[in-house]
Chain A
Amino acid sequence: MNNSKKVIFTILISVLLMVLAACGDGSSKVAFLNVSYDPTREFYQEFNEAFATYWKEETGQDVAFQQSHGGSGKQGRAVIDGLEADIVTLALAYDIDELVRSRQLLNEDWQTELDYNSSPYTSTIVFLVRKGNPKDIQDWDDLIKKNVSVITPNPKTSGGARWNYLAAWGFADKQFNGDETKIKQFIKELYGNVEVLDSGARGSTTTFIEREMGDVLIAWENEAYLSLKHESDKGEFEIITPSLSILAEPPVAVVDKIVDKKGTREVAEGFLNYLYSEEGQEIAAKNYYRPRNEAVLEKYKDQFENLELVTIEDFGGWQEAQKVHFADGGTFDEIYQ
């Protein structure tokens, strides 16, 4: 081996070693990872602290929390592709079903393992409008008026947007007594008014508030409240609750295959159970999620207006809803044909 080869060889080897050292660094830390969707950031930040104190008292264990947030579909895909989530707290059950279908990461009946369809908190879909409601938007049928510009995310990429879509569909279904042609026409006109179709719920909120685009934002109730709180300096907004909406149930689940591999089942189950505790429910309510616990709900009842709610079951469950509405060639695609 001559000189030049030796030098290049040495360089190659040292670089390889650097890469290996880096790999080791990345995988040595075992921690508790909650993979969640966009609007839960503030909620889990607060909840994690409360749970850490509680868990320390109960078991003496310190928990190093890791949070990952993003669009629900994107997050589900990351877990399927190997992101080692101990628990998933996503926007809709379909994304967790997908973990079962593709890699059997959970049991098929995961949704029966915890109370209330494994959804410790719920939300619904409301409108956010600009101060004084200049376009006088009161209900879904106001959104299809000619001069109204609507902001909502893309149902293909955003979990929240699917709830938005189904809520609108639910309203039209009632309005037109199930006449599918008329419902589709309504949805088509509604999405014809959509000016920006962001890929996630947070993106839409930013477009509506920071960029001042659109007259109305279709949003999660908790997201709408949160923007009122955060964006007071950007001018004021009002929340409009439509006559009918959908009961949005963001589910939570332990990822069996991963907690068993990492040995974190106990803390993962403890974490989810604590979501149902009074303190957990209280934190959820404080972050504008509708709690399941009656007593807590009563305490925060001023915050949550009563309205008629359809559920995902009215659409035959998520598998069916996905197939009919959001899969390629579904009703959403028909809008843009």
Chain B
Amino acid sequence: MTKSIEVQQDASPIINRKAIKSYALQESAIVKWSLITISLLFLALFLILPLITIFVTALEKGWATYVASITHPDALAAIKLTLTVVLIVVPLNTIFGVAAAWVITKFNFKGRNLLITLIDLPFAVSPVIAGLIFILLFGAQGLFGEWLYQHDIRIVFALPGIILATIFVTFPFVARELIPLMQMQGVTEEEASMSLGASGFKTFWLVTLPNIKWGLLYGIILCNARTIGEFGAVSVVSGHIRGLTNTMPLHIEILYNEYQFTAAFAVASLMSILAIITIVIKNIIEWKAKEV
């Protein structure tokens, strides 16, 4: 979640560059390299080693076992389910994110801080609670439970429940990415476009969207990553039916619980590869964003 803060850019005093000794502008080499070493060690210990563990364990019993694990019908069903969830959740939250960011940044109204906080809320709500609330709503003993049961509509322990819980958990991502960006951009360009007679939609499409597209994409990517990886909330509403309501993270847990550690890590490595692809795309986006 990037949050850029505009920094003051007032006219600087005329500087005689030659007068400034280099040590005053740059750290000594020792400081520089020790900082780099600290950073790399920290990242190795906390991020890179866990990643390596996953791949080493996944390939422990050879390539054939690895391929067999990720092409198992239950694994494929889990992958398919996860992709379905992504296809529904990400577009919904993207539309919401754009609408919410628009209203929050282009207008001044009472309760705006409260609204931002409410949008942020799912981010700080424990996934366990996120799952629980949908059980309380749609579970057989929940608020709508009796009605749903009579009409034979299944929400929890089926795809809709998984989708709802995932939407909840990934709710703030796009909006949170866009709000600081659009706030910085202000309303001048849109006002100009409107006063020149463009329609509201045209203004959004031709003026706002080009300005926010990289931030928007970044938000979508974060939302997508979390959608694929959500575990806690989905675990509460899934029912864990093999090959039917198991998403990829749940499938990993199941394999792990079946003493199939290698297979569990194989699917985990597949998810790590997805994560790495996500990161690569994200970096390309940032690079392009800098170019524009």
Report if A and B touch in the complex (beta carbons < 8 A). yes
A81 within 8 A of partner (CB): yes
With a CB–CB cut-off of 8 A, which chain B residues contact A210?
261
With a CB–CB cut-off of 8 A, which chain B residues contact A102?
141
From known contacts A27-B154, A103-B141, infer whether A18 and B88 are also in contact, taking CB-CB under 8 Å: yes
Q: Is the CB of B159 within 8 A of A78?
A: no
With a CB–CB cut-off of 8 A, which chain B residues contact A58?
none
Interface 9-residue window, one of A67-75, A168-176, A187-195: A67-75
B95 within 8 A of partner (CB): yes
From known contacts A82-B145, A103-B140, infer whether A22 and B201 are also in contact, taking CB-CB under 8 Å: no
A33 within 8 A of partner (CB): yes
B163 within 8 A of partner (CB): yes
Q: Name the one of A4, A18, A103 contacting B204, with C-beta atoms under 8 angstroms.
A: A4
Q: Is the CB of A22 within 8 A of B239?
A: no
Q: Is the CB of A26 within 8 A of B159?
A: yes
Q: Is the CB of A67 within 8 A of B156?
A: no
Q: Is the CB of A81 within 8 A of B163?
A: no
Q: Name the one of B135, B160, B243 contacting A23, with C-beta atoms under 8 angstroms.
A: B160
Smallest Cβ-Cβ distance to A14: which chain B residue: B91
> How many pairs of A and B residues are in contact by the CB < 8 Å rule?
105
With a CB–CB cut-off of 8 A, which chain A residues contact B201?
2-4, 7
Interface 9-residue window, one of B115-123, B215-223, B251-259, B280-288: B251-259
Q: Is the CB of A81 within 8 A of B259?
A: no
Q: Name the one of A68, A82, A200 contacting B156, with C-beta atoms under 8 angstroms.
A: A82
Smallest Cβ-Cβ distance to A35: which chain B residue: B239
How many residues of chain B are within 8 Å of chain A by beta carbon?
A: 43
Q: Is the CB of A66 within 8 A of B159?
A: no
B240 within 8 A of partner (CB): yes
CA distance A84 to B257 in the complex (A): 23
How many residues of chain A are within 8 Å of chain B by beta carbon?
A: 42
With a CB–CB cut-off of 8 A, which chain A residues contact B99?
8
CA distance A235 to B140 in the complex (A): 46
A151 within 8 A of partner (CB): no
From known contacts A15-B91, A19-B88, A231-B259, infer whether A82 and B154 are also in contact, taking CB-CB under 8 Å: yes
Q: Name the one of B145, B159, B241, B258 contacting A25, with C-beta atoms under 8 angstroms.
A: B159
Q: Is the CB of A66 within 8 A of B154?
A: no
A201 nearest CB across to chain B (Å): 9
B82 nearest CB across to chain A (Å): 13
Q: Name the one of B141, B199, B204, B258 contacting A41, with C-beta atoms under 8 angstroms.
A: B258
B44 within 8 A of partner (CB): no
Smallest Cβ-Cβ distance to B203: which chain A residue: A4
Q: Is the CB of B141 within 8 A of A22?
A: no
CA distance A84 to B154 in the complex (A): 9
CA distance A38 to B149 in the complex (A): 28
Which residues, 109 to 156 on B, are CB-close (under 8 Å) to A? 135, 138-142, 145, 148-149, 152-156
Q: Is the CB of B244 within 8 A of A2?
A: no
A146 within 8 A of partner (CB): no
CA distance A114 to B149 in the complex (A): 29
Q: Is the CB of A15 within 8 A of B257?
A: no
Contact with B along A50-78 (1 / 0, CB 8 A): 00000000000000001111100000001
Q: Is the CB of B240 within 8 A of A69?
A: yes
Q: Name the one of A7, A41, A78 contacting B239, with C-beta atoms under 8 angstroms.
A: A78
Contact with B along A4-22 (1 / 0, CB 8 A): 1001100110010011001
List the 9 closest A-B pairs by CB distance, nearest first. A4-B201, A81-B139, A82-B140, A26-B159, A26-B158, A202-B257, A83-B157, A230-B259, A83-B239
Q: Which residues of B contact A (CB under 8 A)?
A: 84, 87-88, 91-92, 95, 99, 135, 138-142, 145, 148-149, 152-160, 163, 199-202, 204, 239-244, 254, 256-259, 261
Q: A15-B92, A23-B160, A81-B156 are in contact. List 6 more A-B contacts (CB 8 A).
A: A4-B201, A15-B95, A23-B153, A23-B158, A26-B158, A83-B157
- In the complex, 10 of the A-B residue pairs with CB atoms within 8 angstroms, ordered by the A residue number, are A4-B200, A27-B154, A27-B158, A69-B254, A81-B156, A82-B148, A82-B154, A200-B257, A206-B256, A230-B259
